[in-house]
Amino acid sequence: MNEPRASSVSRRFGLAAAAVLLALSAAPAASQDAAGRAARIVVGSAAGASSDAVARLLAERFTRTLGRTFIVDNKPGASGNIAAEVVAKSPPDGNNLLLIYNAHPAVGALFPHLPFDPIKDFRSVGLIGTTAYVLVATPGLPGRNLGEALAQARAAGTPLTFGSTGAGSPQHLTMERLKKEAGIDITMVHYKGGALASNDVIAGHVNMALATPSLAMPQLKAGRLKALAVTGDKRLPELPDVPTVNEAGFHGFVSLGWFALLLPAATPEAVVQRYNDALNKALGTSPVKERLEAQGITPTPGPPAVLDRQMQGDAQMWTRLIKELGIKPE
């Protein structure tokens, strides 16, 4: 291609070959970088958080399977918006991925003046996994499960208190939805993290909180908390005697936490597909599955379109609720 020929056929062939090479030139960005740069998975949480642990697991796996170094770049703060903006505005060359969790689709409604669009400024790579929340309560709260606890609260005429991980967080929005469907008074108390909320439930300062299984299980086993319900579509294997919210009479009520990978919106299809293939391959390996499941996360390999639908559906559902209740970030 570097040696032009006089023949028009050869010139046409050369132009065609150049076009093919140009189209494919972005694809290797998912596996190698001419400048030798490491690719990064940007995560909007501090080291040690659940999303950070998932990002490090994938960075380790991608480094092994894609032939280049992947690092985790923690950019906590602003409900994940700092990390999201960094990736949204980064070159679409496959060097910058964003690991999100299920708070991401709601940020557009919570922060109407964001310098990026949480849906339109990204391309989906794929869902990583889902996790149900456990509705935990202080052991002294009357009722063995959600149905009984709500009935006791109605009879007593005393409002319940709920510790959330911040205004507009997935746990807060899930409980606002349950409060609305139950038609019961629940006072929301906002914290800066799930551990802080759970600690105040243990101390008896608030009645309930929603916790991930990995956070809840040690406290449940120690008897410092009790489980009223799980928010998934089925009972958790670790908690076979704890009913779902649906079983408590809230038909069709499912609220799952999830993790996913995104790329900048202009990323070429070949790069997106290469990362999706690498992600699905990783999720199918025993080491990755076991480490995710140890955190209460069920791996969910699949095409990018599944994540597209998840994000769009969540954005619509949470935007309606946020606007209806006038929820504002703290």
Over the stretch 147-203, which tens digit does the pLDDT of each residue have?
999 999 999 998 999 999 889 999 999 999 999 999 999 999 999 888 899 999 999
Q: Where in the chain is the domain with CATH 3.40.190.150?
A: 36-130+256-325
pLDDT of amino acid 65: 96
pLDDT of amino acid 37: 84
pLDDT of amino acid 5: 35
What is the spatial distance between Cα 260 and Cα 272, in angstroms, rounded to a whole number?
A: 13
Q: Is 222 helix (H, G, I), strand (E, B) or coil?
A: coil
Q: What are phi and psi of 127, to 5 degrees?
A: -70, 145
For the domain made up of 36-130+256-325, the CATH class stated in words is alpha beta
The stretches in the chain having pLDDT less than 50 are 1-31, 34
Helices and strands, counts by H and E, the chain:
11, 11
**pTM of structure:** 0.85
pLDDT of amino acid 11: 40
pLDDT of amino acid 29: 44
pLDDT of amino acid 193: 82
- Which pairs with CB-CB distance under 8 Å and at least 24 residues apart come from 248-256? 248/145, 248/146, 248/147, 248/150, 249/147, 250/178, 250/181, 250/182, 253/177, 253/178, 253/181, 255/132, 255/133, 255/170, 255/174, 255/177, 255/231, 256/102, 256/130, 256/131, 256/132, 256/133, 256/231, 256/232
pLDDT of amino acid 35: 57
Q: Which residues are within 8 A (CB) of 302 and not within 5 positions of it... i.e. 6 or more apart?
A: 126, 127, 280
* CATH classification code of 134-248: 3.40.190.10
pLDDT of amino acid 192: 84
| Encoded tokens for 285 | 């390996």
Across 56-112, the runs of DSSP E, i.e. the strands, are: 70-74, 96-101
| Encoded tokens for 297 | 């996360």
